Amino acid sequence: MGKQKTAVIYARFSSDLQRDRSIDDQVTLCEQIARREGYRIVEVFSDRAKSGASMFERDGLLALMTAAKKRAFDAVLTESLSRLSRDPEDTAAIFKRLRFNDITIFDQNGAVTDIHASIGGIVNSMFLKNLADNVRRHHSGRAREGKFPGALTYGYRCIPGKPGEREIDEAQAAIVRRIFQEYVDGKPARQIAADLTREGIPSPSGGQYWNHQTLVSGTKGRRGMLGNRLYVGEIVWNSNRTIRNPETGKRTQRKANPDDQIVTSVPHLRIIDQELWQRVHALCDQRATKFGHDRRAGVRRGQYKDHLLSGLLCCGVCGGNMRVYQVTAKGGGRVACAAAIQKGTCTHRKSYYLSGLEAAVLDGMKANLANPKALIEYTRAYHARWAERQREISTDRAGAQKQLNKLTVQIDRYVTAIGDSDEPVKAMMERLNKLEAERAALEARLEATAAESNVITLHPAAIDKLASNVEVMHAALSDAARIGADPTKAARYRSAFRSLFDRFLVQPTPRRHAYEVTPMARLSVILGVDLFPKTRSAKEMLAEQGVNMPLVANETIPT
């Protein structure tokens, strides 16, 4: 008698309004499929309250695909193909990868074939589009009737028993009038937000702190409270549309077709008189011209979102995040404490050149991390706060795992794009190698957090290894920081840098004094966890997914 084949179950429901019972019902159905097809179930993978429109943030599906690469089972059982994905590109990619590993998909109608996967992906995608169109049509109809299909706006309250209808909340309306009047009187939005916070007035979200971007955001402040036309008695609907970035899975807003915009007059909801509204918007336009993008065409804060210290800088006073808040006329980025600049809740209001902080960090790394006495003292301090560090490790592990899952999806998508392309793919290969360097570093970090679960001692050989790695990393990152350098060539070293350091505390210093930065390093890296873990070559990543791509003339695959 032959060995019984094994299978895993995948179940998913898409909305918080649904219950875990949906998962149980799907598993029961899949158990029936297993008995019918003669499979033994070895594991159940599931995703709760996750949309099938994307593979991002779906830990259960990613765990299933990882296990599939090891050929740990023979079949995947699911209620329907739509549970795996409603995106035709993702459906095809999942089917292709499972088939490459000799794994069959079964739903309640039987084995899923190529035709089933192709047509099913299109049908499931059409279902999502039709659903979105129906919801949009319903919301647009409500807006034309003068009712609100969206969230509650500050300054108003719902009318009990009348869904979609609003009335003015006089207490909040007084705050709205105050904001408009203070702004037109010349008070900066940051100062208005700071005053409201100090007075203990709840923010529109109900929180303790006001953010100036709540008042003025978007081009010329048109998307903040000062640009909300409801305050002059107009409901504006369909001014923007939401679209998902297929590479990152994040939703972003774009301007909708002006012909689709709906404007409905609701004069009984006017809070701001027309004369004050016009004065405020004339001032918004004036400030946007003086301080906005017009004076520095082509320079945007967004260009600094992927800098070396991105996400690692923290305020030495309040411990909060520091962010790029200003770009100088010469294009230099300046960072400051977000709590101080946006909310006025921190006293650390000094700003710092990003280039200066990077130089201070790199020079300090080279000067101190190869010092044996400093490393031994660091280890002793670690032992003293071991229990506290265990809580930090738990948080660090969860964040690293989430980012690793995201990178896994991105790598798979690039592999698919490369395999389907008939054109030169050098740029995609370079991006693929950068993602692989980040993936390998994150896996090493997860191993590192496991290593830190025990109290340890520092071995002399670890000091020599770290000193050598720091020298190499410092040279590579210093070269990458030069103007005109190709940042993709330093991807491996940037990933190693982020594995070594958890965060940097920027301490307040007097004006024109040297910057003072306190690094918070990961002891596991100092103990010998490899800063430069082995990565897969582009050829290996393609072959792992069953892609055999002939090289284009005069083009090589970077490794």
Query: Helix/strand/coil (H, E, C) string of 192-247?
Result: HHHHHHHCCCCCCCCCCCCCHHHHCCCHHHCCCHHHCHHHHCEEEECCEEEEECCC
Give the pLDDT of residue 295: 42
Residues in the chain: 559
- Enter the DSSP assignment of 343: I
pLDDT digits (tens, 9 = 90+) for 281-301: 888 888 766 555 444 444 444
More confident residue, 554 or 340: 340
Q: What does the pLDDT read at residue 18?
A: 57
Provide the pairing of β-strand 5-12 with 75-78.
parallel
* CB-based burial, 316-339: b 16+ in 10 Å, e otherwise: bbeebebbbbebeeeeebbbbbbb
Confidence of residue 554 (pLDDT cuts 50, 70, 90): very low
Residue type, 476: A
Q: What is the pLDDT of residue 458?
A: 52
pLDDT confidence of residue 154? 92
Mean pLDDT in residue range 14-25: 71
Q: What is the pLDDT of residue 44?
A: 93
CA distance linking residue 144 with residue 552, whole number of Å? 56
Mean pLDDT of 405-421: 68
Q: Has this prediction a pTM greater than 0.85? A: no
Over residues 254-274, mean pLDDT: 87
Residue 396 confidence (pLDDT): 67
Inform me whether the pLDDT recorded for 21 exceeds 60.
yes
Q: Average pLDDT, stretch 178-184?
A: 93
pLDDT tier at 179, thresholds 50, 70, 90: very high
Amino acid at 528: G
234 vs 131, which has greater pLDDT? 234
Span 491-510, average pLDDT: 83
Q: What separation in angstroms does the CA of 439 have from each of 418, 458, 481, 487, 500?
A: 19, 27, 22, 17, 15
Share of the chain above pLDDT 70, in %: 71
Instruction: Give pLDDT, residue 167.
Output: 92
SS3 state of residue 45: strand
Res. 553: pLDDT tops 60? no
Domains and CATH numbers, the chain: 5-131 (3.40.50.1390), 156-291 (3.90.1750.20), 355-544 (no CATH)
- Give yes or no for residue 152 having a pLDDT over 80: yes
Per-residue pLDDT at 551: 41
Query: What's the helix, strand, coil split of the chain in %, to 5?
Result: 50, 15, 35
| Model pLDDT, residue 394 | 62
Report how far residue 151's alpha carbon sits from residue 177's, in angstroms, rounded to the nearest whole number. Answer: 21
Nearest to 106 by CA among 321, 505, 98, 460: 98
- Enter the tokens of residue 93: 């990619």
Alpha-carbon distances, residue 364 vs 359, 361, 368, 520 (angstroms): 8, 5, 6, 12
Task: Compute the average pLDDT of residues 515-542.
Answer: 66
Q: What is the arithmetic mean of pLDDT over 87-105?
A: 87
User: What pLDDT was estimated at residue 86?
Assistant: 84
Q: What is the pLDDT of residue 293?
A: 46
What span, in angstroms and rounded, lies between the C-alpha atoms of 328 and 399? 33
Q: Write out the H or E segment, with its range, that includes residue 392.
A: helix 386-420
> Closest Cα to residue 78, out of 25, 9, 12, 22?
9
**51-70 exposure pattern, b = at least 16 Cβ within 10 A, e = fewer:** bbbbbbebebbbbbbebbee
For 48: left if phi > 0, alpha if psi spans -120 to 50, otherwise beta; the answer is beta
d(CA 184, CA 282): 9
Task: Check residues 288 and 65 and name the one with the higher pLDDT.
Answer: 65
Which has more pLDDT, 277 or 118?
Answer: 277
Q: Report the distance separating Cα 58 and Cα 12, nearest Å.
A: 9
Q: Beta strand pairing status for 39-47 and 75-78?
A: unpaired
Cβ–Cβ < 8 Å for 164, 157: no
Name which residue leads in pLDDT, 406 or 193: 193
pLDDT (tens digit per residue) in 291-329: 554 444 444 445 556 678 888 899 998 888 898 877 766
Residue keyed to tokens 């072959």: 543
List strand residue ranges (DSSP E) for 305-463, in order: 313-315, 322-327, 333-337, 352-353
Residue 483 pLDDT exceeds 70: no
Greater confidence (452 vs 160) lies with 160
State the pLDDT at residue 75.
94
Which residue's entry shows tokens 């980040």?
Answer: 438
Residue in 540, 534, 544 with CA at minimum distance from that of residue 558: 540
Assess contact for 432 and 541: CB atoms under 8 A.
Answer: yes
Taking the C-alpha atoms of residue 291 and residue 81, their distance in angstroms, rounded to an integer, is 52
Q: Is the pLDDT of residue 521 over 50?
A: yes
What pLDDT, on a 0 to 100 scale, did the predictor assign at position 143? 81
Lowest mean per-residue pLDDT among 163-177, 334-348, 420-434, 510-524: 420-434
Percentage of the chain beyond pLDDT 90 is: 18
pLDDT band (50, 70, 90) for residue 35 = very high
Residue scoring higher pLDDT (252 or 236) = 236
Position 121 scores a pLDDT of 74
Please compute the mean of the pLDDT values over residues 383-410 and round it to a whole number: 65
State mean pLDDT over 386-397.
60
Mean pLDDT of 22-38: 91
144-170: average pLDDT? 88
Q: How confident is the model at residue 171 (pLDDT cuts 50, 70, 90)?
A: very high
On the CB side of 213, how many CA atoms lie within 13 Å of its CA? 8
| pLDDT confidence of residue 173 | 94
**DSSP label at residue 366:** H
pLDDT band with cut points at 50, 70 and 90 for residue 10: very high
Give me the pLDDT at residue 138, please: 80
> Of 27-36, 398-407, 478-487, which range is least confident?
478-487
- Position 196 pLDDT exceeds 50: yes
Residue 48's pLDDT band (cuts 50, 70, 90): confident
